[in-house]
Amino acid sequence: MRGFLIALMLVVAFMAGGMTCGTTQAIAGDHPEKDPAHVLTPEEFEATRQVYFDRCAGCHGVLRKGATGPNLTPEKMIPKGNKKLRDMLWYGTAKGMPGWGKMGVMTAEETDLMVKYMYNEPPVPPQWDMTAIKDSWKLIIPPKKRPSKPEHNRDVDNFFGVVLRDAGQVCIIDGDTKEVISTVDSGYAVHILRMSASGRYCYSIGRDGKATMIDMWMKKPETVAEVRCSLDARSIDVSKFKGYEDKYAVVGGYWPPQIIVLDGNTLEPIKLVSTLSYTYDTEEFHPEPRVASIVASHTAPEWVLNIKETGQIWLYDYSDVSNPSIKMFEAERFLHDGGWDASKRYFLVAANARNKISIIDVVDRKFIANVDTKGTKPHPGRGANWVDPEFGPVWATGHIGDDVISIIGTDPEGHPENAFKMVAKVQALSSGNLFIKTHPKSKWVWVDHPVSKKEKNRTTLGVFDKANIKAGIFKTVKVADYGKAVHMEYNKAGDEIWVSIWGNLGDADKGKAGEIVVIDDATMKIKTRIPNLLTPTGKFNVYNTVRDLY
Amino acid sequence: MRGFLIALMLVVAFMAGGMTCGTTQAIAGDHPEKDPAHVLTPEEFEATRQVYFDRCAGCHGVLRKGATGPNLTPEKMIPKGNKKLRDMLWYGTAKGMPGWGKMGVMTAEETDLMVKYMYNEPPVPPQWDMTAIKDSWKLIIPPKKRPSKPEHNRDVDNFFGVVLRDAGQVCIIDGDTKEVISTVDSGYAVHILRMSASGRYCYSIGRDGKATMIDMWMKKPETVAEVRCSLDARSIDVSKFKGYEDKYAVVGGYWPPQIIVLDGNTLEPIKLVSTLSYTYDTEEFHPEPRVASIVASHTAPEWVLNIKETGQIWLYDYSDVSNPSIKMFEAERFLHDGGWDASKRYFLVAANARNKISIIDVVDRKFIANVDTKGTKPHPGRGANWVDPEFGPVWATGHIGDDVISIIGTDPEGHPENAFKMVAKVQALSSGNLFIKTHPKSKWVWVDHPVSKKEKNRTTLGVFDKANIKAGIFKTVKVADYGKAVHMEYNKAGDEIWVSIWGNLGDADKGKAGEIVVIDDATMKIKTRIPNLLTPTGKFNVYNTVRDLY
């Protein structure tokens, strides 16, 4: 009998933005007309809600209304029935759903509970607005108590920030000596790091929305400030335009769907902007338009924010940060990750569920094109730029769902015939690619395959020759005998490429933690390994990240 | 037992944007733990919901979370108890709540039901997005079937569009002959009219969100297109910047809270933008940030949109209409109505529940100030501009809650000492003012008092002398012996001022319909009356409206 009142409270609380996490449990045991076989205890509901948040929400959304993956609301799930749902969860699907059971990520019991969870309404997540954000803000070391110059003789520009995903930590590695000089706690499962424009600070953003900043001038770099910006987030960047160096940081919220602007020196929250609006094409209201990647412009005081579900690219002018001007481009739905062309004029971003690359011109402030990559689920990271002898300046992406690299011309003045068109589609070693990487000083383009269906490809990198990209793979480099090789980054000099080996001590990783493998870029030989890192993931070299060299 | 499922459906439907009005009834009879004395039948609930929408939502919001009036959610209402609630509804309050019973607007039975309604959760209103908007669009006479030049020899520039509020109609009156040349159906209780930049079309917006456009070149002007833009709306304007004449119209939604851009020639819907975001000051999420007044800039392809609950003024750049750039100013909460200074560079808008006038500079794109008007509930309409012999160019507003006119300097170059400050506070005849009006060619400033507590003031206008404003009222002009005198407008020549007499055939109006009283501006004598108009409200002269002369 209490169900109605509780549910109404949820409605009201959602509208009021005042609900706390705890109320999600109230839904669980109190669903009078549900098939008894679908009822979860409050404890089961909460545990499964967490598994859903960790494994499923990224593709399907916290509201389960679908994004990269399909809609999972009860009216869609109930007709499928137990067996089909369980099989999809356990074995995955041909369309790209991972086999969570088969991969050893979800237990049999968790899988059974997730089937039941699919029959239940998604709990309405709470708001998280300025009061909560401010309450979470911790200025651990105020600016005036920080060093006035570096306390070490290391080259900060060749530091790497490395995400230790399952440890909930970030470590700082000296790229010259390969020493781990500091390991600090971060948000949960950090998704990305960025460096301040001066190169002094390293910012992280956790999946739990917690942002942290590390001062790399300290003898042992430490976290100097933290703030929980949202309950779920994926992106952070800084103000890079001349005159705004180290002034602001910006976080993109997944839930609540919002933009959070922070003071770049303290992480003090300054401004909140909601991304709630309408899908660009059908103009339906979307309750969860998540902020995917963010990049800072080099040519204006602006951030490029990619609003996934509504398919809009926003340019946020931070020159008057609390009174922003926001240019909203209609682009394509399910915008995910992307980066600059070499000139920093064109921004290219994958609309991954639509197999498109959306391109804007930030100088003329124009949408340019949605380019079909002729592959399934492009996932460029920030992509790779080089000058092709035939096509001129190009940018490339690999794919999660196809074994192809798609190459797009980016030079409308010198090579108008190729500009913003697919100029080549090159055979890769495997599907299951996540990142592609090069450096202006390198002859090569490196491609990983950590989610390849074939185990051996997961630890093999494909190397392509910029001088002859159409010839296909120039060489393959096997970098580990366990885990997955994921995400490459160059050192400052551009003569070493670092790749993470994703190990998390589990059976699938032969009981090993992960490591970073350092490869000599010229010879493609392994130079050294930096061992004992728990699921090292993204690595960000200060010099290259500040300058967006890729 | 079904309550929980229904309520969950409401949550989900709200999130999905797919709920229909009918489901609001489902809440009514199904509130198991409610005090039986608070239970409404579905029919009573629906009827009372409509009364609430008509009489209460304007000030308190459809979600009852408060705006100009306070929050009316059950947790605030239940502690008050039946008697207090009923007295407030019947007799009104000192803070400005009208005495709906005493005024004869709500019956005793309606008042009792409204008390019960206050104990019930507000129904969650449905979404109304592009599919619904497009489905409602009717192009009654396509542009190519319309006349290519005026079909009459009348001076369209001296036409008046007049809202016949309770008739759900708009009439077009020839300002030269005073003939009603056409009366057409409109949305419900039209709130405002605007004229296209060419002066050919008259646009209306109903409280029910229905926009209509009338072609005044037709021999008998008729509605050529209509579209329901939202379920509740208050504002419409057009593209006035050079090169965009008659190209676009824009509607401000109250619920859903959204901006709807329309083709100016057909009302075909083009673009939807949500206004959901955070209050400018505390940065709390607000579920209902309504679009109050809209004005078109003369100096850029922009609309100024006033977002009431979040206290933001938005500049929507329509030069790339589907990819807008929106400049968002932090201003003050509860923005309502406002207008331009005489130079059209500064926009001044009342934050009525905060007793402030918020001012922006649309040329330098800067927020200037929140000026305290030293009066309760400023309500300028579009305000009144003139050149004061002492203070230079000024803009003025009256107040609903105080008998004062507040005058603000608007000339930072010529009179910097007065700019954007209260330069004078002048005694008016009465509180209960809604509109203030002048014309560049007039010597006077006219002030109405339709919601004065004293009946005789409701039909008396106060006239002030621009040459000696500080002397106070120069003259009073009694314009009717029934109803309320509301909203003045000048003719094209600026030598007549028209005022509406609000009569609706009810007892309070002595059984009379309303009329328009035409006054000779120079002599202040009544020239003529245009009779038998049901609650005529806003009147808009084509020439003055296109040019924003006030």
Q: Which residue has the higher pLDDT, B364 or B25?
A: B364
Cβ under 8 Å to A: B residues 294-323: 315, 322-323
Helix, strand, coil % (nearest 5) of chain B?
Answer: 20, 35, 45
Q: Which residues of A touch B1 (CB under 8 A)?
A: 1, 32-33
| Average of per-residue pLDDT across B352-376 | 97
A106 is catalytic: no
Which of B310, B325, B365 to mutate to probe the A interface, most A CBs <10 Å?
A: B325
Q: Which residues of A touch B63 (CB under 8 A)?
A: 15
Region of residue A243 (phi > 0: left; psi between -120 and 50: alpha; otherwise: beta): left
Size of interface A-B (CB pairs under 8 A): 150
B465 part of contact set with chain A, CB < 8 Å:
no
- The pLDDT, as a whole number, for residue B17 is 32
> Of A31, A130, A322, which is closest to B4 when you measure between CB atoms?
A31
> Of A1, A11, A365, which is closest to B10 when you measure between CB atoms?
A11
Neighbouring residues of B178: CB distance < 8 A, sequence distance ≥ 6? B518, B528, B530
Measure the CA–CA gap between B529 and A80, rounded to whole angstroms: 71
Residue B173 pLDDT grade (very low, low, confident, very high; cuts 50, 70, 90) = very high
The residue assigned the tokens 């009348």 is B154
Tens of pLDDT, residue by residue over A71-85, are 999 999 989 999 999
Measure the CA–CA gap between A135 and A228, rounded to whole angstroms: 9
Residue A103 pLDDT grade (very low, low, confident, very high; cuts 50, 70, 90) = confident
Cβ under 8 Å to A: B residues 23-82: 30-33, 63, 65, 73
Region of residue B282 (phi > 0: left; psi between -120 and 50: alpha; otherwise: beta): alpha
* Alpha-carbon dihedral sign for residues B254, B209, A284, A305: negative
B97 is catalytic: yes
**Percent above pLDDT 70 for chain B:** 94
| Average of per-residue pLDDT across B192-197 | 97
Cross-chain Cβ contact A282/B2 below 8 Å: no
Chain B: closest CA distance from residue A310 (Å): 11
Q: Quick check: is B534 in a domain?
A: no
Paired sense of beta strands A422-427 and B404-409, if any: unpaired
- The pLDDT, as a whole number, for residue A16 is 33
- The pLDDT, as a whole number, for residue A98 is 82
**How far from the centroid of its chain's Cα atoms is residue B433's Cα?**
14
CB contact at 8 A, B290 and B334:
no
Q: Which residue among the candidates B9, B31, B38, B97 is catalytic per the annotation?
A: B97
State the greatest distance between any 2 C-alpha atoms of chain A, in Å, as a whole number: 73
Question: Do A439 and A525 have their domain in common?
Answer: yes
- The pLDDT, as a whole number, for residue A34 is 62
User: At residue A515, does pLDDT exceed 80?
Assistant: yes
Strands (E), B40-117: none
- The pLDDT, as a whole number, for residue A31 is 40
Q: Which residue among the candidates B191, B286, B336, B487 is catalytic per the annotation?
A: B336
Tens of pLDDT, residue by residue over A393-426, are 999 999 999 999 999 999 999 999 999 999 999 9
* The amino acid at A322: S
Range with the poorest average pLDDT among A12-16, A378-382, A399-403, B118-122: A12-16
| DSSP class per residue in A447-463 | E--TT-SSHHHHTEEEE
Question: Do A146 and A256 have their domain in common?
Answer: yes
A119 part of contact set with chain B, CB < 8 Å:
no
Strands (E), B62-189: 138-139, 159-164, 169-174, 180-185
User: At residue B137, does pLDDT exceed 70?
Assistant: yes
Question: How is residue B309 written in tokens?
Answer: 């609950």
Q: Which residues of A touch B7 (CB under 8 A)?
A: 3-4, 7-8, 10-11
The residue assigned the tokens 């509740």 is B232
A38 is catalytic: no
Q: Is A323 helix (H, G, I), strand (E, B) or coil?
A: coil
Residue B511 pLDDT grade (very low, low, confident, very high; cuts 50, 70, 90) = confident
| Average of per-residue pLDDT across A131-149 | 98
Cross-chain Cβ contact A323/B328 below 8 Å: yes
Angle, to 10 degrees, between the axis of helix B108-119 and the axis of helix B81-91? 130
- The pLDDT, as a whole number, for residue B368 is 98
DSSP A48: H
Measure the CA–CA gap between B5 and B24, rounded to whole angstroms: 14
Q: Which residue has the higher pLDDT, B66 or A363?
A: A363
Range with the poorest average pLDDT among A190-204, A404-418, B3-17: B3-17
Residue A94 pLDDT grade (very low, low, confident, very high; cuts 50, 70, 90) = confident
Provide the total of helices (H) and of strands (E) in chain B, helices listed first.
Answer: 10, 35
Cα A462 to Cα A253, A352, A431, A488: the distances in Å are 34, 22, 11, 12
Measure the CA–CA gap between B248 and B246, rounded to whole angstroms: 6
Cα A279 to Cα A518, B48, B130: the distances in Å are 43, 34, 10
The complex scores an ipTM of 0.89
Q: Which residue has the higher pLDDT, B17 or A152?
A: A152
Residue A25 pLDDT grade (very low, low, confident, very high; cuts 50, 70, 90) = very low
Neighbouring residues of B37: CB distance < 8 A, sequence distance ≥ 6? B116
Q: Which residues of B touch A1 (CB under 8 A)?
A: 1, 32-33
- The pLDDT, as a whole number, for residue B65 is 86
Q: Which residue among the candidates A171, A216, A286, A379 is catalytic per the annotation?
A: A379
Q: Quick check: is B113 in a domain?
A: yes
Measure the CA–CA gap between A460 and A465, rounded to whole angstroms: 16
How many of the other CB atoms lie within 10 Å of CB of B441?
Answer: 11
Q: Which residues of A touch B10 (CB under 8 A)?
A: 7, 11
B7 part of contact set with chain A, CB < 8 Å:
yes
Tens of pLDDT, residue by residue over B249-279, are 999 999 999 999 999 999 999 999 999 999 9
Question: How is residue B485 written in tokens?
Answer: 């005198």
Q: Which domain holds residue B49?
A: 3-119
How many structural domains is chain B composed of?
A: 1
Residue B34 pLDDT grade (very low, low, confident, very high; cuts 50, 70, 90) = low
Cβ under 8 Å to A: B residues 380-399: none
Measure the CA–CA gap between B439 and B424, rounded to whole angstroms: 20
Tens of pLDDT, residue by residue over A467-510, are 999 999 999 999 999 999 999 999 999 999 999 999 878 777 88
Question: Do A34 and A75 have their domain in common?
Answer: yes
* Neighbour-count burial for A353-386, b at 16+ CB within 10 Å, e otherwise: bbbbbbbbebeeeebbbbbebebbbbbbbbbbbb
Residue of A nearest to B366 (CA): A323
Please report, for the domain that includes residue B80, its CATH number.
Answer: 1.10.760.10
User: At residue A17, does pLDDT exceed 80?
Assistant: no
The residue assigned the tokens 């001349």 is A242
> Of B7, B277, B322, which is closest to A330 when you measure between CB atoms?
B322
Q: Quick check: is B261 in a domain?
A: no
- The pLDDT, as a whole number, for residue A395 is 98
> Of B11, B283, B315, which is closest to A10 when you measure between CB atoms?
B11
Q: Quick check: is B19 in a domain?
A: yes
> Of A278, A327, A365, which is closest to B130 when you measure between CB atoms?
A278
| DSSP class per residue in B494-546 | SSEEEEEEEEESSGGGTT-EEEEEEEETTT--EEEEEEEESSEEEEEEHHHHH
Cross-chain Cβ contact A325/B327 below 8 Å: yes
Q: Which residue among the candidates A9, A38, A97, A152 is catalytic per the annotation?
A: A97
Measure the CA–CA gap between A360 and B130, rounded to whole angstroms: 25
Q: Which residues of B touch A272 (CB under 8 A)?
A: 277-278, 283
Residue A229 pLDDT grade (very low, low, confident, very high; cuts 50, 70, 90) = very high
Q: Quick check: is B543 in a domain?
A: no
Residue A20 pLDDT grade (very low, low, confident, very high; cuts 50, 70, 90) = very low
Phi and psi at A139, nearest 5°, equal -95, 95
Tens of pLDDT, residue by residue over A288-304, are 999 999 999 999 999 99
- The pLDDT, as a whole number, for residue A96 is 73
Cross-chain Cβ contact B276/A273 below 8 Å: no
Question: Do A114 and A136 have their domain in common?
Answer: no
Helix, strand, coil % (nearest 5) of chain A?
Answer: 20, 35, 40
Neighbouring residues of A24: CB distance < 8 A, sequence distance ≥ 6? A45, A46, A49, A123, A124, A125
Q: Quick check: is B25 in a domain?
A: yes
Q: Quick check: is B9 in a domain?
A: yes
* Beta-bridge partners for B273: B259
Measure the CA–CA gap between A509 and B43, rounded to whole angstroms: 65
Question: Do A115 and A209 have their domain in common?
Answer: no
Measure the CA–CA gap between B19 and A400, rounded to whole angstroms: 37
Question: Do A70 and A152 have their domain in common?
Answer: no
Q: Which residue among the candidates B88, B171, B216, B379 is catalytic per the annotation?
A: B379
User: At residue B30, does pLDDT exceed 60?
Assistant: no
Q: Quick check: is A521 in a domain?
A: yes
- The pLDDT, as a whole number, for residue B35 is 74
A202 is catalytic: no
Range with the poorest average pLDDT among A22-36, A160-174, B39-53, B443-457: A22-36
Mean predicted lDDT score pLDDT of chain B:
91
Alpha helices in A29-172 (DSSP H): 42-51, 57-60, 74-77, 81-91, 108-119, 130-136
Question: Do A8 and A115 have their domain in common?
Answer: yes
Residue of A nearest to B274 (CA): A277
Q: What's the pTM value of the predicted model, to 2 decimals?
A: 0.90
| Average of per-residue pLDDT across B33-54 | 85
Measure the CA–CA gap between B238 and B4, rounded to whole angstroms: 45
Question: Do A202 and A97 have their domain in common?
Answer: no
> Of B30, B129, B285, which is closest to A285 when you measure between CB atoms?
B129
Q: Is B420 helix (H, G, I), strand (E, B) or coil?
A: coil
**C-alpha closest to that of B324 among A492, A325, A115:** A325
Q: Which residues of B touch A284 (CB under 8 A)?
A: 17, 129-131
Chain A: closest CA distance from residue B410 (Å): 22
Residue of A nearest to B283 (CA): A130
Please report, for the domain that includes residue A209, its CATH number.
Answer: 2.40.128
A195 is catalytic: no
Cross-chain Cβ contact B33/A121 below 8 Å: no
Measure the CA–CA gap between A272 and A257, rounded to whole angstroms: 10
Question: Do A112 and A145 have their domain in common?
Answer: no
B522 part of contact set with chain A, CB < 8 Å:
no
Residue B31 pLDDT grade (very low, low, confident, very high; cuts 50, 70, 90) = very low
A530 part of contact set with chain B, CB < 8 Å:
no
| Average of per-residue pLDDT across B31-40 | 68
User: At residue A6, does pLDDT exceed 50?
Assistant: no
A9 part of contact set with chain B, CB < 8 Å:
no
Q: Which residue among the candidates B56, B77, B171, B213 is catalytic per the annotation?
A: B56
Range with the poorest average pLDDT among B94-98, B224-228, B393-397: B94-98
Paired sense of beta strands B180-185 and B192-195, if any: unpaired
Residue A373 pLDDT grade (very low, low, confident, very high; cuts 50, 70, 90) = very high
Residue B22 pLDDT grade (very low, low, confident, very high; cuts 50, 70, 90) = very low
Measure the CA–CA gap between A347 and A302, rounded to whole angstroms: 12
Question: Do A54 and A19 have their domain in common?
Answer: yes
Residue of B nearest to A121 (CA): B8
Tens of pLDDT, residue by residue over A144-184, are 999 999 999 999 999 999 999 989 999 999 999 999 999 99
| DSSP class per residue in A98-131 | --TTTTTSS-HHHHHHHHHHHHSPPPPPPP--HH
- The pLDDT, as a whole number, for residue B114 is 94
Question: Do A60 and A167 have their domain in common?
Answer: no
Cβ under 8 Å to B: A residues 227-286: 256, 258, 271-274, 276-278, 282-285
